[in-house]
Amino acid sequence: MIELQLSLKRVPTLLVLCFFLLLGNFHKADARIRHYKWEVKYEFKSPDCYKKLVITINGQTPGPTIQAQEGDTVIVEVNNSLETENLAIHWHGIRQIGTPWFDGTEGVTQCPILPGDTFKYEFVVDRPGTYLYHAHYGMQREAGLYGLIRVAPNDPEPFAYDLDRSIILNDWYHQNTYEQGAGLSSIPFQWVGEPQSLLIHGKGRFNCSSSPSLSTAICNTSNPECSPFVQTVIPGKTYRFRVGSLTALSALSFQIEGHNMTVVEADGHYVEPFVVKNLFIYSGETYSVLVKTDQDPKRNYWITSNVVGRNRTTPPGLGIFNYYPNHPKRSPPTVPPSPPAWDDVESRLAQSLAIKARQGYIHKPPTTSDRVIVLLNTQNTINGYRHWSVNNVSFSLPNTPYLVALKENIPNAFDPISPPDGYDFVNYDIFNVANNTNATSSNGIYRLKFNTTVDIVLQNANTMNKNNSETHPWHLHGHDFWVLGYGKGKFDMKNDPKKYNLENPIMKNTVAVHPFGWTTLRFRSDNPGVWAFHCHIESHFYMGMGVVFEEGIDRVGNLPSSIMGCGQTKDFHRP
């Protein structure tokens, strides 16, 4: 009898527990779908006080941040309201395992979204971390179509902080992308030049008085749209700042005046912590840094970005690090901190070498590779036009996306001859302007044997200007790779591999190759699909600085008809 009474007393509690467990499970199931509806269109904006047409998402630039939990499915319905332009959006750092058709790369994984059409992207964010999204059609990214993806982890992170904030860095041109593209494709060649401004989370300040011909209707520093970016902080806290760069051209140095930054994450992978005053960041990279608000709370401080790697003519990007309760618009009492010398390659190389995988989170790479591809980064002239090239081959996109052409066995969609795995190692002088009379253009691709280990050696060389070699951030779609090493000068195939870091190399999706130097990365060809690998500088990729890898195409599932409709797939598309 006593046992029966105890059982009856437990019933309400058990019912309540079951109710909350079921409720919790339903809530968790709901949380696994993150649904966004975006309208992409042109609007007049003044992010740096200069009024121009920019591409917005739901009226914003930068666009809305995608926030999700590890393992969630993200659905983004994109309505192309650009009226006269096609569109594609790439989910930068998301590997698209099982959904290679939603990588968002026009000409590689999909036909572009036509004006007036709505396209649905649907993919799983399988790892925590900080990622990006941006346009991947022409040079639309630099017109304002970009934003952040933040994926929260299911497990505790190996570092503690009180508050989590995001900052996107960018450079900004007043010319539109059509004007720039026309110049890059002209004889004589017309370079895009240095950007007019640097933006910190979509805000900058162009000096309107530097061009007296500009009316206040075009350039107005009192416009609230270009008021400085303000990051308000509470004294005595530790902040995590997720810093991402989506510059069109510039490598940047990022600083918060008077504050150290502890680097803890790079491209979604935990970093063995190290402290910097200047964070060097290249287009396509993301970092998480921890910052303690332990300085004099009675004043505000500068947030700055500055161009490095190019002779600096663009003024710094300026924001305000606002210690609450100081007024957010109260200028710091000091001048902005001086940036590193623009041509100080040693400091930038030192930071690259300092980025290692965090203890306890090391994924060791295979000790050997099955294939080595050396990619020489250089410039040349083809039929009078200036190009960026890889192994003297300038890349061009086909009319029919590679993924569809390969999966559907469409003949003659692209050049069947693969680009070379190397260049003339013996005779090519990377330190001087090369003749490169054998330069060609092609849309041929690299066919990788599935589930093998591939090494890519990025070799930098002199451009067509004397004593000039540029910094190139290379981004790989569909994969993370191990960064095995960096070096100066010409890569030595015999001796340099002996110096590779096989113990704790960081994994990334974007990495820089420094002037007159080399960078080696290693990855597994284990993600069925077709993946772009290219310089993340908009004008460089536009001019041919990229390649495409195919792997395991026979393992790719049935393609959605929504990615078709262009080139030889016009009859394949079903709305």
Residue 350 is predicted with a pLDDT of 96
For residue range 357-386, what is the model confidence (pLDDT) as tens digits? 999 999 999 999 999 999 999 999 999 999
Q: Residue 13: is its pLDDT beyond 60?
A: no
For residue range 268-290, what is the model confidence (pLDDT) as tens digits? 999 999 999 999 999 999 999 99
Place of tokens 């190996």: 158
Give 95-136 as a DSSP string. Answer: --TT-GGGS--BTTTBPPBPTT-EEEEEEE--S-EEEEEEE-
Shared domain for 172 and 129, answered yes or no, is: yes
Shared domain for 169 and 231, answered yes or no, is: yes
Shared domain for 383 and 472, answered yes or no, is: yes
How many angstroms separate the CA atoms of 353 and 348, rounded? 9
Mean pLDDT of 187-201: 96
Shared domain for 169 and 28, answered yes or no, is: yes
Mean pLDDT of 24-53: 82
Residue 3 is predicted with a pLDDT of 40
User: Among residues of the chain, what percentage have pLDDT more than 70?
Assistant: 94
Shared domain for 376 and 340, answered yes or no, is: no
pLDDT band at 438 (very low <50, low <70, confident <90, very high): confident
Of 354, 385, 408, the domain-final residue: 354
Residue 106 is assigned to a structural domain of this protein: no
How many angstroms separate the CA atoms of 270 and 1, rounded? 59
For residue range 223-263, what is the model confidence (pLDDT) as tens digits? 999 999 999 999 999 999 999 999 999 999 999 999 999 99
Q: Residue 447: is its pLDDT beyond 60?
A: yes
Q: Which two tokens stand for residue 490?
A: 């010409």
Residue 92 is assigned to a structural domain of this protein: no
Total tally of structural domains belonging to the chain: 2
Q: Which CATH number covers residue 30?
A: 2.60.40.420
Shared domain for 258 and 347, answered yes or no, is: yes
- In single-letter form, the type of residue at position 92 comes to H
Longest Cα pair distance anywhere in the chain, in angstroms? 99
- Mean residue pLDDT of the chain comes to 93
Residue 313 is predicted with a pLDDT of 94
pLDDT band at 141 (very low <50, low <70, confident <90, very high): very high
Q: Which two tokens stand for residue 550?
A: 């195919």
Q: Would you give the end-to-end CA distance of the chain in angstroms?
A: 68
Of 354, 388, 404, the domain-final residue: 354
Q: Whole domain around residue 396: which residue ranges?
A: 371-569
For residue range 121-137, what is the model confidence (pLDDT) as tens digits? 999 999 999 999 999 99
pLDDT band at 435 (very low <50, low <70, confident <90, very high): confident
Residue 435 is assigned to a structural domain of this protein: yes
Residue 117 is assigned to a structural domain of this protein: no
Q: Residue 14: is its pLDDT beyond 70?
A: no
- In single-letter form, the type of residue at position 121 comes to Y
pLDDT band at 9 (very low <50, low <70, confident <90, very high): very low
Residue 91 is assigned to a structural domain of this protein: no
Shared domain for 169 and 260, answered yes or no, is: yes
Residue 114 is assigned to a structural domain of this protein: no
Q: How far is CA 564 from CA 75, 98, 402, in A?
A: 19, 18, 11
Cβ contacts of 4 within 8 Å, gap of 6 or more:
none
Shared domain for 341 and 451, answered yes or no, is: no
Residue 283 is predicted with a pLDDT of 98
Beta bridge partners of 131: 149
Is-cis flag, bond preceding 212, omega within 30? no
Shared domain for 233 and 286, answered yes or no, is: yes
Shared domain for 284 and 377, answered yes or no, is: no
Cβ contacts of 567 within 8 Å, gap of 6 or more:
111, 398, 399, 400, 401, 405, 413
User: Among residues of the chain, what percentage have pLDDT more than 90?
Assistant: 91
Residue 474 is assigned to a structural domain of this protein: yes
**Rg of the chain taking only CA atoms, in angstroms:** 25
Place of tokens 């044997």: 449
Cβ atoms of 49 and 221 closer than 8 Å: yes
Residue 397 is assigned to a structural domain of this protein: yes
Is-cis flag, bond preceding 366, omega within 30? no
Cβ atoms of 529 and 551 closer than 8 Å: yes
Shared domain for 341 and 392, answered yes or no, is: no
pLDDT band at 436 (very low <50, low <70, confident <90, very high): confident
Residue 213 is predicted with a pLDDT of 84
Q: Residue 7: is its pLDDT beyond 70?
A: no
Residue 573 is predicted with a pLDDT of 57
Q: Residue 450: is its pLDDT beyond 60?
A: yes
How many angstroms separate the CA atoms of 119 and 137, rounded? 15
Backbone angles phi, psi at 176, to 5 degrees: -85, 170
Residue 43 is predicted with a pLDDT of 97
Q: Residue 517: is its pLDDT beyond 50?
A: yes
Shared domain for 172 and 197, answered yes or no, is: yes
Of 299, 327, 354, the domain-final residue: 354
Q: Residue 5: is its pLDDT beyond 90?
A: no
Record the pTM. 0.93
